[in-house]
Structure 1
Amino acid sequence: MHATSDISLTRPEARPLHLAVIAGLACAFLIGKTLPVMLDTLSSMAEPLCAVSDPSGSALDTVEPIGSYALPNVPGKRVTIVRVFYGPGGFTRAHRHAGSVTAYITKGEIRSQLAGGPVEIFKVGQSFFEPPGATHLVSANASNTEPAELIAVFVADEGAQLTTFVE
């Protein structure tokens, strides 16, 4: 048992975020498997929020909106789930997010670096967290031959632009 994980899960102020992330991931997998027709509608609604597919990134990379839900137990907040596909050698240029982001790797390996931190490589089944406003300097497929994919769960203010590119 790790004392730090036990403490963080029992702090009352941490519970709504943990529950939101868990619920978001569960909804993402359920919706992705059972309601594929809804994805086209969600895509047109969420595209302005998820500017990760900006052409300034690499070719063949896409962001697929999965769902977006108001959090009734956290007024003014919304959880948004997207699937990010990186082709071989794919990347997204430096950016920031308006809210907290938890990313879960579902295929391949993702190279990531937040400002002030080391470059890290995350494999299938691993996750990483980005605090609000952190500069994500490196977000890329670690392979030049195989695709990679992640699920990103945003928790941000209602109406916030989720991604802003760094000039």
Structure 2
Amino acid sequence: MTSVSAFSVTSRPRPQAYALAVVGGLACALAIGRALPVTMDAISAAMAPVCASAAEGSPLDKVEPIGSYALPNVAGKRVTIVRVTYGPGGFTRPHKHAGSVTAYITKGEIRSQLGGGPVETFKVGQSFFEPPGSTHVVSANASATEPAELIAVFVADEGAQLTTFLE
């Protein structure tokens, strides 16, 4: 079993590289996403293997890794879990994910829109699913005054760049 914390990864062939990639990818994506109109593709793939928020709506927006585990019964696949926190008015610009994503709302309300579908609002205890390659057009806090939070569970290929921001 593999575990991820802010500082280390255990039981992996390259634990230091993976841990640095997770922490570095999150930090770089947040800083660059707020400062420059740069897509995630401009950031080294080694620096952004985990879903990283380039939210521009609130300085309180953040993505925190919770865990990442190889799936022993599905060769080459990994499940990665992150906590996404949106400050009041926070959002993530349009993006795609490499694998399947299930999101579970733990605080506040989240507005979401996939591809040409409707904009939906999800409350605490509700969840939504993103098939691989879906365009996530809207991912935002539904409130301009209260924070919101979700837990995202990715199932993707080992080593995949989980989030790619769109122009």
Superposition RMSD in Å? 1.9
What amino acid is the match of 1:130? Answer: E
Give the equivalent residue in structure 2 for 1:23. none
Q: Percent identity?
A: 76
Give the equivalent residue in structure 1 for 2:89. 89
What amino acid is the match of 1:39? Answer: A
Q: 1:155 to 1:76 in 2, by over 3 A?
A: same
Q: Normalising to structure 2: TM-score of the pair?
A: 0.73
What amino acid is the match of 2:106? Answer: T
Contact 1:102 1:128 in 2 (8 A): yes
Q: 1:51 to 1:127 in 2, by over 3 A?
A: closer
Contact 1:49 1:162 in 2 (8 A): yes
Q: Which runs of 5+ in 1 are unaligned?
A: 1-30
Give the equivalent residue in structure 1 for 2:80. 80
Q: Report SS of the residue matched to 1:53.
A: coil
Contact 1:88 1:146 in 2 (8 A): yes
Shift of 1:51: 4.7
Distance 2:117 2:60 in 1: 28
Shift of 1:60: 1.6
Distance 2:57 2:7 in 1: 22
Q: Normalising to structure 1: TM-score of the pair?
A: 0.73
Distance 1:126 1:44 in 2: 32
Point out the structure with the larger helix share.
1
Contact 1:58 1:92 in 2 (8 A): no
